[in-house]
Amino acid sequence: EAQVTQNPRYLITVTGKKLTVTCSQNMNHEYMSWYRQDPGLGLRQIYYSMNVEVTDKGDVPEGYKVSRKEKRNFPLILESPSPNQTSLYFCASSRTGGVGQPQHFGDGTRLSIL
Amino acid sequence: QKEVEQNSGPLSVPEGAIASLNCTYSDRGSQSFFWYRQYSGKSPELIMFIYSNGDKEDGRFTAQLNKASQYVSLLIRDSQPSDSATYLCAVNHGTGFQKLVFGTGTRLLVSP
């Protein structure tokens, strides 16, 4: 089954404790992206990757890191999480980074930073 | 001005009616437009996409695009209670590569 898999689905942690949210897709998609969703603000892009070893900042990259060493994986790293990073996070992928490609979303990760 | 604007709702319609959801965007260079449905606590699910002016129909759903007026709409015919969700409009800016900007969504409530 074609899917985007995120782990963990839920995480409660404390300020400053490094964490990684994994994202994996099995569709051989070139393009992957991370979003956060907050009430009243909608989905905002954090980082994206056009292909292996190619990543770039989205609209809200501060406090986050990503890497794309393999085509299927695109982990999101919070080196020193803070409470303002409490949010619902989604990973998404599309076949290419070209205009018009529909994005497919993972099930989401709900992070609470205390 | 937000780049992609949607009325937050809720938009309430009775079962069997037509639900009309609207979205306006600010970037005239935008080239592709998407509608996603999101149930509470779930991930966005692609319903339709449209690139050209006019209407595009898929089952009970019709997307309408008017680039001159910078709006895109989604019509849901024969609305069902299972259609109750938040509908997100997403616009791909015409920068030559994937750059989706999402609206904050319209909540639709379909009453039996």
Residue B104 carries which side chain, given as an amino acid letter? T
The whole-number pLDDT of residue A2 equals: 77
Which residues of chain B have a CB within 8 Å of the CB of A98?
97-98
pLDDT at B1 over 70: no
| The pLDDT of residue B95 | 64
What is the pLDDT at residue B71? 94
pLDDT at B104: 94
Nearest-angstrom CA–CA distance, B78 and A91: 32
3-state SS, residue B83: helix
Strand partners, B54: B65
pLDDT on residue A51: 92
What is the mean pLDDT for each group of 10 consecutive residues in chain A (114 residues)?
92 96 96 94 93 92 97 97 97 86 92 96
User: For residue A90, which residues of chain B lie inside 8 Å, CB to CB?
Assistant: 43-44
CA distance B32 to chain A (A): 5
DSSP string, A52-107: TTEEEE-S--TT-EE--SSSSB--EEESS--GGG-EEEEEEEES-SSTTPPPEE--
What is the nearest CA distance from A18 to chain B, expressed in angstroms? Answer: 25
Nearest CA in chain B to A42: B104
